[in-house]
Amino acid sequence: MTVAPGCLVTVCRDCCCGSTRKHPSVDHDAQLRRLRAGLPAPHRVRISDCLDLCAQSNLVVVHPTPAARRAGTRPVWFGLVLHDTVVDDITAWVRAGGPGVAPLPAALELSVVAPALRPGR
């Protein structure tokens, strides 16, 4: 039996995201462990260098499954992911199918941010 590919979750961890200097009350390592524990295969969690949206740190980007991407679904960017509740809401949404598959819960809509625009993109 083949398992359909899951979502890819990118967690920014660079100059501002994951910084105890900027967010001293957040346990950034625990936040990453929580995401990884809540999103086993077929989903993947990866760490990224700066995603150029430092004012919205901590950033988490949820990329749709390959099938949803082929159907035109784009990644969803979340900013100010600083509380376990938001991490848990993201995890539950991804487990339900994520972008293009499961409706975005109203509570998560409050955390959606516009992606950074980099030159050449």
Residue pair 111/80 in contact (Cβ under 8 Å)? The answer is yes
Number of domains in the chain: 1
Domain ranges, residue 40: 10-55+66-101
pLDDT, mean of residues 110-115: 95
Is 61 inside a domain boundary? no
Is 46 inside a domain boundary? yes
- Evaluate if residue 104 carries a pLDDT over 60: yes
Confidence band for 36, pLDDT divided at 50, 70 and 90: very high
Confidence band for 121, pLDDT divided at 50, 70 and 90: very low
Residue pair 50/27 in contact (Cβ under 8 Å)? The answer is no
Is 2 inside a domain boundary? no
Is 112 inside a domain boundary? no
Q: Tell me the whole-structure pTM to 2 decimals.
A: 0.92
Give 115's DSSP letter: P
